[in-house]
Amino acid sequence: MIALVDCNNFYVSCERVFDPRLLDKPVVVLSNNDGRIVARSLEVKALGIKMGAPAFKIQNAIDVHEIRVLSSNYTLYGDMSRRVMEVLATFTPRIEIYSIDEAFLDFSQLSIRLQHRYAPDLSETCREIREVVRKWTGIPVSIGVGKTKTLAKIANDIAKKTETGVFLLYGDKVEGVLRELAIEEIWGIGRGFAKILRLNGIQTAWQLREARDGVIKQELGVIGLRIVYELRGRNCLPLQVKVPPKKSLTVSRSFGRPVESLKELKQAIALHTTGAAEKLRRLELAASSARVFASTSQFKENPRYDAVRVTFPVTTNDTSELIYHALLGTEKIYREGLAYKKAGVLLLGLVSENIRQLHLWDDRDRERYGDLMETIDLLNAELGAGTIHPAVIGSPSWLARCRSRSPRYTTRWDELPVVRAGSPP
DNA sequence: TCTGGGGTCCTAGGACCC
DNA sequence: TCTGGGGTCCTAGGACCC
């Protein structure tokens, strides 16, 4: 059994912990630029105000119902999230932190304490977890339990609507629930997939569960097939207990006003690149390429999105190096006469900052990184030709460690990230 | 002189999530 | 007038190699 623990109205709940006057009042939290609604209290949901609604469009409701409007404070939410997850981790060692406000818990490996007290009554276990989280963090949570992650998700949606905040979905209950559930409500079925399924006459979760594998594979690919299997109770999305290394990282912002000049666009990109470089260093990572992008308003006619990929000669997390390349990219995508509303930079090919991946394309690069090449040649002469691939180089201290260890040890290159050839800029 | 098939790697774009 | 930001995964198609 897998449980999904989900914090109720998470951002609003966080704000309420620190300002109890907000309790029982309608509250919304707005997105970064105060543009959209990203969290609603129960009272606001009852008014029919939708998630993601633009703030200016619901101004009337805000006035009429005296809705408290807050700007978001992600530092606070991140900190509260960490506390909630720490409490949850005391119940089972097998926990996957899925998002800022959700975690999957493996109920087949509960802590001894819980097993002794409640086994095999899962609803008592859930109640205990809810109470402890509430007491230690002040955050209310809902818990859904099912045989797979997808079923636990569905159970959680139901749990949110019940008095107890807990729902167990297994055995006889499954068919009844799935028959009443529209496909759009299933985790992994978005607008696009829902449309395709409806065209094929599939409208409920039960119909999807009973659908023929071949049809689903044909229409939705393996992703769709996994969802179907999960609905049938077969686990296709294993619990990710270990946090996988980050693969990309983005910093982007909407502009307060339209930006038209290359100069201003460059300023924005430089600023975002600075932020991205800081994130990178905090994570002790370096990037091998970047994607620079800018777009006009998606709500105006002929919305435009331009992006370009720039590959660095060497993986780096150095701010000025990153900005240099990002600005070259900016020049490439800039079009005169456009009113840009958003810009950003996406860093990818992330590796540990202790590893350097060189992309050598021509003699100019070879000159630029001549010192490093010399070091490689020296090491290869010492350890045997071909021991170190020119594309993989450690930091000076890491190289020193290599020297001090036995040659046999230093040939364990399989421990290093795989190096892929970069394409020329 | 004419002709083939199989494989890998990489990228952009599209789907999804919170 | 005013509409967020940060992620992941999969696939098709092109480049390139043998």
pLDDT at position A395 is 41
Mean pLDDT along residues A187-200? 95
Whole-number Å distance, CA A267 to C1' B5? 51
Whole-number Å distance, CA A103 to C1' B16? 18
DSSP 8-state assignment for residue A38: E
Q: Half-sphere exposure of residue A377, counting CA atoms within 13 Å on the CB side?
A: 7
pLDDT at position A311 is 83
User: Which tens digits make up the pLDDT trace of A224-268?
Assistant: 999 999 999 999 999 999 988 899 999 999 998 999 999 999 999
pLDDT at position A296 is 93
Count Cβ atoms within 10 A of the Cβ of residue A361 and give its class: 0-12 exposed, 13-18 middle, 19 or more buried.
middle
> What is the C-alpha to C-alpha distance for residues A194 and A183, in angstroms, rounded to an integer?
6
The overall average pLDDT reported for chain A is 85
Mean pLDDT along residues A43-61? 94
CA pseudo-torsion sign A152, A158, A162, A167: negative
Does the structure show a pLDDT above 50 at A71?
Answer: yes
Minimum mean pLDDT range among A21-35, A42-56, A117-131: A117-131
User: Which tens digits make up the pLDDT trace of A320-351?
Assistant: 889 998 998 999 999 999 999 999 999 998 88
**Residues ≥6 apart with Cβ < 8 Å to A129:** A3, A5, A88, A91, A105, A141, A143
Cα A234 to Cα A197, A227, A312: the distances in Å are 21, 9, 43
Whole-number Å distance, CA A223 to C1' C16? 30
A225: left (phi over 0), alpha (psi -120 to 50) or beta: alpha
- Which bases along strand C come within 7 Å of a protein CB atom? 1-11
DSSP 8-state assignment for residue A165: S
Output phi, psi for A183, to 5 deg.
-60, -30
A218 CB inside 7 Å of strand C: no
* Neighbour count for residue A371 (Cβ, 10 Å): 8
CA of A56: nearest nucleotide by C1' is C2
Two tokens, residue A71:
């700007």
Cα A281 to Cα A127, A178, A311: the distances in Å are 41, 46, 19
Whole-number Å distance, CA A236 to C1' C9? 14
Question: Between A150 and A298, where is the model more confident?
Answer: A150
Does the structure show a pLDDT above 70 at A369?
Answer: no
Cβ pair A6, A139 in contact under 8 A: no
Nucleic chain B contacts, protein chain A, residues 107-166, CB cut-off 7 A: 153
Cβ pair A323, A276 in contact under 8 A: no
User: Which tens digits make up the pLDDT trace of A94-150?
Assistant: 999 999 999 999 998 888 777 777 667 899 999 999 999 999 999 999 999 999 999
Two tokens, residue A324:
């240099």
Amino acid at A370: G
Whole-number Å distance, CA A10 to C1' B12? 35
Cβ pair A276, A325 in contact under 8 A: no
Whole-number Å distance, CA A38 to C1' B15? 22
Residue carrying structure tokens 């402890």 = A132
Strand partners, A96: A104
Output phi, psi for A92, to 5 deg.
-155, 145
pLDDT at position A402 is 41
DSSP 8-state assignment for residue A21: G
Cβ pair A143, A5 in contact under 8 A: yes
> What is the C-alpha to C-alpha distance for residues A310 and A307, in angstroms, rounded to an integer?
10
pTM: 0.85
- Which bases along strand B come within 7 Å of a protein CB atom? 9-18
A420 CB inside 7 Å of strand B: yes
Long-range contacts of A418-422 (CB under 8 A, 24+ apart): A419/A357, A419/A389, A419/A391, A419/A392, A421/A359, A421/A391, A422/A288, A422/A289, A422/A311, A422/A359, A422/A361
Mean pLDDT along residues A376-391? 57
